Structure 1
């Protein structure tokens, strides 16, 4: 990986639960890459999906980051307070004809596998969704700093995607694009489970005339059965009262040399040694990695 002249990264959890090890890995990986580039590291709470939000989760997430020594360089931003920015972008897209009202339900789109190519609604809805128009032949390619070359036919594989849901909630794709621009994010570091969303975001950036940041997708952490952590018992919260074991496990999962941190006797010492010894080229290029610690081991999880 090259070292950019100016770097602004971020960690952006959704408040759907306490931080599990997969979330911690994304936080540590994005923090290390930002520090390696002598850049800024921001935290953004992506709370635009109220039905999935767990009360108090965002507060506990921030407390956990603090316990792990991962302190953002600027004030934490919450998407729930930034609706005016998303509305401004949506209004632009509606005026230009790049966005449109859609009355289709999921059952209407069942025949096309949920891919929207044209409105086939049987009747108008009082609360239509707003979608982005994706012309036929829209193919987006990009170079991921970890996963390598990527390409997706957005028109065929995704279709016209939602910007504002029928319930009135902002779609992730619009909010993340607007916020990355508003915060001046140059480098998006996150889990490989979001790799498939990136072409949509790049296309939306192009339509809005926004710059495209660099992307790096960390391997997705899975349990011993190959299941994503959020779908398994290993989704237990990491232990904020004893952060060193989880930090050491994150260092291992990122492919780093354990010798670099073995003498660390506290969080600050470990992070200082990790920052000095971090080698981005050692990050595994595989799409997923297995968590060495299991539920029964318990040492990285909260009691």
Structure 2
């Protein structure tokens, strides 16, 4: 079977505190987009898990979340048959777009289907949190409010149809570095997550984009000025708003017009600021009502 593992962006990302176990408490609005990795799974007569990928630098053992997810279910249900898995990556790696978490979610869904384990989506999400905080959301998909360490999820209506320009500069950013250098007492601006949720419920695209914000930019942008340069380039070329996704370094711009989005994509490629550039849309949009701008 072939499965699609969708990328995500954070329309809003706030960090509200740090727990004793070192994890940060967050409030985020998550959105899947039409960009995906592909995971192919085949049953094998040989026991065990064999994983291959199109990127030579990715591990193909339990250092890979796909392997870890498959092993989790196969151990729990004592599955003796083996599986051959091939992962084709398109989502940028170490980019703040949950590529690895989404791949793991696809593996959970695939193993559940292939061996007819009968687990519900909710049960897969409960197991997913053992692999990573973003995995339950990647099983769920769509538009959601994420709280706690990201595992407490509330499904929201789809955001209005819009165009999403993705620009990843030629750098990788460590999530550990970003959270390790986040000083919450110095953060003066927090995104209005409640207001964004209300705008989503009202299908108000501009109400959503006006409230976009990511407190992690306070760490990543000063360390990597190219992020602000890409944001400025997108805004200059017609983005309704632009922001860094997750812990970065990927920037996304939201556009309400496909022609503007295509022009901005071409200009971003010419600028050389972005090493990987994609134009796509949100997945599961909730209509086309835009509100007022």
TM-score clears 0.5: no
Instruction: State the TM-score, normalized to the length of structure 1.
Output: 0.29
Greater gyration radius: 1
Structure 1 or 2: more helix by fraction: 1
TM-score, structure 2 as length reference: 0.30
> Going by fraction, where is strand more abundant, 1 or 2?
2
